[in-house]
Each structure stands twice: as structure tokens, then as C-alpha cells.
Amino acid sequence: MHTHSLTQALTLYQSGTLTLGQAAARAGRSEDEFEKTLRRYGLPVRPEPVSVETTTRRRVGAD
């Protein structure tokens, strides 16, 4: 069953349906482990989109 979830995660990641984090979770691996698996199978690691939440900072002022 673990092999099926890995194969499914690889396929969905390769098609662009899942992000690296989502595919890693589906495969039951960490993102680093999943990246290593992608490289082992000769599949490219896509650049991850930058989240607005991580790039936007708000100043909080005290009254």
C-alpha cells in the first residue's frame, strides 16, 4: 500500500495537481525525503509558489 501512495503522489506532483508539501504528505514522507525520491526517479523538482502570507508583513502599532 505504501508503494501505491508513493506512486500516486509522484504522478499527482508531476502533473501539477499537488504541491511538493501535499505530495510528500500523501506519500507519507517529509518534503526532503520526497525531493530525494523525485531525484532518484529522475523527476524535476518544481519551484514552489511563494505564499502571500510569507511575503506580506504588517506593522502593528501600539496606541
The tens digit of pLDDT for each residue in 11-22 reads 999 999 999 999
CA distances from 31 to 6, 18, 36, 59 (A): 13, 12, 9, 32
pLDDT at 48: 81
Give the integer Cα–Cα distance in Å for 7 and 41: 11
Give the integer Cα–Cα distance in Å for 36 and 52: 27
Give the integer Cα–Cα distance in Å for 59 and 63: 13
Q: What is the pTM of this model?
A: 0.72
Mean pLDDT of 23-41: 96
| φ and ψ of 40, to 5 deg | -60, -35
Q: Which residue has the higher pLDDT, 43 or 54?
A: 43
Grid coordinates representing 32?
526532503
pLDDT at 17: 94
